Amino acid sequence: MNENNKYFYANRWYTFSYTFHEIFSIFFFVFMFNFIPLIMAFKHTIKPIWLTLLIPINPKRSLEKKVAKCKLV
């Protein structure tokens, strides 16, 4: 394999990956900004889902632990 071949294949792969990244990012942003208003409109239905995802602890149990600590002191 001579020098020209090597550079040709490397450059081809780089350009392909770059264009793919550009296209993918454009589609991603278009779809995201398209669905943001829907998410804002139906936030009250999504709220329990993201609350359970973000707070995977039982607040009642943690409160009981705090009360128990206070009673010990």
Name the residue ranges covered by the structural domains of the chain. Answer: 3-72
> H-helix or E-strand containing 36?
helix 3-41
Tens of each residue's pLDDT in the chain, 73 residues: 556 555 555 555 566 666 677 777 777 877 777 777 777 777 666 666 666 666 656 666 666 666 766 666 5
Tokens 């602890």 locate to 57
Please tell me whether residue 58 adopts helix, strand or coil conformation.
coil
pTM: 0.26
